[in-house]
Amino acid sequence: MNYLYYFYRVIGYALIIPGAVMCLLPVKKHLRIEPKKLFLLLFPTLMLYSFLMPFAEYFIPMFSSNTLFSLTIVLCFFFYCMAADFEKIKLFYLYLSNVALLSFGGLAFYMVDAYIVNNGIVSPIYDTAVISQWCTTIFLICFAFFPFFNRKLTWTLEHFHSKPVWNMVWTVPALITFCNYAMIPTDYKNATVGRIFSLYLLIDITLLLLFLLFQQMFYLIAKTLIEKNDYEQRTQLLQIQASQYQSLLRYVNETSKLRHDFRHTAHMLFSLAQENNTEKILYYLKEYRQELDSYHSGILCQHSTANAILAYYANIAASQEIQTDWHMDLPENLPISDVDLCSILGNLLENAIAGCMDVLPTQRFINLSADLTQNKELYIICVNSFDGKPRKSGAKYLSTKKDGSGIGLLSISATAKKYDGMSRFYHLEGEFYSEIMLNLPSAAPRADLS
């Protein structure tokens, strides 16, 4: 084996190192291993891979470098899924997008190599094709990866959770990769005939621009949909708060007469007590207690926005004969967005109510509690009855909606991660458990719903 050729093959295979960095950077918050430890483990492994692959090419001539590299890409994806604790379909899209981006550098290698061979250009001591591949890759990392992938795609991965969309968009980077692979010239003699070389350049640059345009459009569409959903949530919160305000006004008006008449009731009870008429005292007290019980203010916690959501779902639960036992220690001022807090509570209770509807009315219940620790850790626990038949996809629970299409639990998990917290869902026979923990910042502005 020619040692100079071996050296340049090593440099070519070493492109897997920036490729690995490009895959890991957008999901660095979700790595199962500490980034520094992962780097110390990954870098020597990939360097060893770069040194061994040229030997594999030499001793296994039946496999071309493209075939070996393609097998490596497939194998690396499985290790990628093990390294990152993230949704597999999103990892798959990110992985394919980076492979597609690097494929432009790979095609540049073959195009430059074909041009040099066909024009009889004597290369200097360095391999021009390999250098051009590295230069193209560095250029794409600086002007495509960082502005489009590391920033915008990372935001999309973190905030956009429509699974049907993620199940489809991966086809675009896969198609780009396939096109670049198909454009690799099988015969260098035909690669520079006439205008073919110019067409190669034009098609490849067009593909790159279309790919970047797609990434930008995907980001803008996802952002628009998220903002629309956020606006709808805020509108719903305002409607619920307005309804709760009207309920409180009715409570004040309905109880005003009761408070006004209490003076007369007290005089009557005093007179009966002087007469030692215990029977009538008990009778009036019983009637008075029943009248008091008929009024309910709907004050479930001090946090006004959360209280409106809780009261809204409490009324739904009561209409469906669901027993509720809620203890909500939520002060008026919490360092968390109103939309995020109410999104968690709303999704939890909507899921719990849907689960209760699958069992008999006598078995329906929802126990809900929220506690805020001195360390600004908010714990929310919900236990509800259900039919004991969970709808799952792998290890993840699906929505309790009949078609399983809801993303309530997924949304809760995403919000918990936003606050460096955790979420856990599990079931024991006929009870479904939801446990959420949020690390609240010391002073975060609440969303303005006015």
pLDDT digits (tens, 9 = 90+) for 255-287: 555 555 666 667 677 777 777 778 777 777 777
CA distance 450 to 429: 44
Q: What is the pLDDT of residue 45?
A: 92
Burial of 213 (0-12, 13-18, 19+ CB in 10 A): exposed
Q: Is the model's pTM score more than 0.85? A: no
Q: How many CB atoms lie within 10 A of CB 28?
A: 12
> Which residues does the chain have with pLDDT short of 50?
295, 297, 402-406, 443-450
Q: What is the pLDDT of residue 134?
A: 92
Name the class of domain 299-450.
alpha beta
For β-strands 377-385 and 365-372, DSSP reports them as: antiparallel
DSSP track, 83-143: HB-S-HHHHHHHHHHHHHHHHHHHHHHHHHHHHHHHTT----SS-HHHHHHHHHHHHHIII
Burial of 34 (0-12, 13-18, 19+ CB in 10 A): exposed
Q: What is the pLDDT of residue 378?
A: 93
SS3 126: coil
Nearby residues of 4 by Cβ (< 8 Å), 6 or more positions away: none
Closest Cα partner for 355 from 383, 398, 381, 385? 385
Look up residue 82 and give its amino acid. M
Q: At what angle do helices 338-356 and 196-274 cross, to 10 degrees?
A: 80
Q: What is the pLDDT of residue 403?
A: 43
Instruction: For residue 62, give both structure tokens.
Output: 């039946």
Closest Cα partner for 222 from 162, 132, 145? 162
Q: What is the pLDDT of residue 261?
A: 61
For β-strands 323-328 and 365-372, DSSP reports them as: parallel
Look up residue 213 and give its amino acid. L
CA distance 133 to 107: 8
Q: What is the pLDDT of residue 288?
A: 65
- Positive or negative torsion for Cα 13, 15, 17, 23: negative
Decide: 193 and 120 in contact? Cβ < 8 Å: no
pLDDT tens digits, one per residue of 192-231? 777 888 888 899 999 999 999 999 999 999 999 988 887 8
Residue in the block written with tokens 């009731």: 265
Decide: 414 and 343 in contact? Cβ < 8 Å: no
Residue in the block written with tokens 């990954």: 42
Q: What is the pLDDT of residue 227?
A: 87
Location of each CATH 3.30.565.10 domain in the chain: 299-450
CA distance 314 to 79: 46
Q: What is the pLDDT of residue 400?
A: 54
Q: List the beta bridge partners of residue 285.
A: none
Decide: 347 and 365 in contact? Cβ < 8 Å: no
Q: List the beta bridge partners of residue 427.
A: 432
Q: In b/e form, how buried is each residue of 380-390, taking b as 16+ CB within 10 angstroms? A: bbbbbbbeeee
Instruction: For residue 246, give both structure tokens.
Output: 């009207």
CA distance 442 to 302: 19
